Structure 1
Amino acid sequence: MYLQHFGLSQLPFNLTPDTEFFCDLPTHREALNVLLIALQSGEGFIKITGPVGAGKTLLCRKLLNELPSPFVTAYIANPHLSPAALFKAIADELGIKYNRSSGQSRILTHLNDYLIHAATQAQRIVLIIDEAQAMPLETLEALRLLTNLETEKQKLLQIVLFGQAELDQVLQKKSIRQLRQRITFSYTLKSLNHAQVKDYLLHRLQIAGNSHTDLLPPLSVAGLYFFSRGIPRLLNILTNKAMLAAYGKGLSKIGWQQVQLAAQDTDATRMRWRLLGFRPALLGILLLIGGIVFYLSLTLSL
């Protein structure tokens, strides 16, 4: 009934990283281009960071889908592993057969043999690690051993790290400075601005089957931008809750009151509401004024 009420064929604001909903916004497109160019040029170590909920995992899945042949990928989603466990996880991803009781050095030998054989077949192996900020220091250092696997002409393994801002702090530690020096390309995902938030929301609604661009009036978009701070995950949570609130009232549009209820019901945005110290009506007026000013600035710049 919820889907039918809003003319949807599927849920538009799920938190799962579904690449069908990938929105080609500047910050995500730039990050994807950096990744593709760096990998095509044979760079050994690449790093993508961003705030929690910025869309790193979705970008990671998009990269996995877009890398063409002869690239072969190994994807590690949970890297909170010991060095030996990481090497085994990589071997499992690449389909390398080994004795489960083998130690770290033996697994590294298996990996080296596999990578050399792949290079003779003109294959390019890419290791993609999500949530890299969770890796223990000794495991991060072990990654440097993998980057030592190379021929005179090329790296046998390219590595892409996706992580939160804490990853940059970890990489500043003196004990892994040699690893930090090997990162040749890096990019930081940014939060969405007001115009990008609107494009993001409409894009997801359109993919989900809704063709009515008036479902989210300007004031509601401004409110969602304000409370989410332009972070895609928070946008998904707030918009989903606001739509449920509108559906419960039988409304065909998402009003300011529904956005307010969604913000008050979400831990990550509740404090932002309280710290303002404004009455809801006054805040609504301020958001409306801000939306008008933003619209006028865009119009005058054209």
Structure 2
Amino acid sequence: MQPQLYRNIGSSPICFLSICFFLGGHNLLILARDLGQYIQLGTTIDDAIGEAYDKTAKWLGLDISRSGGPAIEELAREGDAESVKFSVPMKQHKDCNFSYAGLKTQVRLAIESKNINAEIPISSANSQDRISRAEIAASFQRVAVLHLEERCQRAIEWAVEIEPSIKYLVVSGGVASNQYVRARLNQVVKQNGLQLVCPPPSLCTDNGVMIAWTGIEHFRVGRFDPPPPADELEDTLLDLRPRWPLGEELARGRSEARSMRTARIHPSLTSIIQASRQPHI
């Protein structure tokens, strides 16, 4: 994810002091202050929006070879987004975290109530069945994106208190290719005087490229370890982490957020690099 925070997008250089919004298998809202200096404004509590889109598309019998986002968006154009009453997740929680597990359950129950058979592809559905599927798709998409909008709006408010000179909201990930999502988030950033930036999907899908890119960025500023001696055993150098830590987490709760206090949940990337350079006693 890190290279998406600060490289050139098209012909316009994107500087630091950006809010970065990752939409895919995991949702994150990050304030990027500098290379390796990030503040986590919000994260995923259970299921991310990408998972919700993919599961909903699968349950509706859609072609998910391109992922659920484009499939849901296409079918949703045929449906009434107000026809099925889904609840917006976490309305009572005034933070920037995400939860789509409950919305997934609501969608599954709605599909079951309309006797929709996912084994019958949308291309073979009769007219009434197609209408039912389109209504669920449109209603799901509206509520799913409302959750994004609410969290994004609050994240902008929190971030501006910390760094008033923020200019960009960078949105990346598979779901970011959904034009409905982009349009709704663009309305949020415009209302706050920011600019929406969406990297091309080719820069957001290949993990190998992104990892290499991150390494290059750190190498350019001298953040790297020298290669090990030829006679040193490789297994003494391994430092396995299932998740790479990304900055600090903003303290939970409105009062803590307003006072802009931060709570360390794991070391920042910079501190990890610095610690790795310390001689072992």
TM-score by length of 2: 0.25
- Structure (1 or 2) with the greater helix fraction: 1
TM-score by length of 1: 0.24
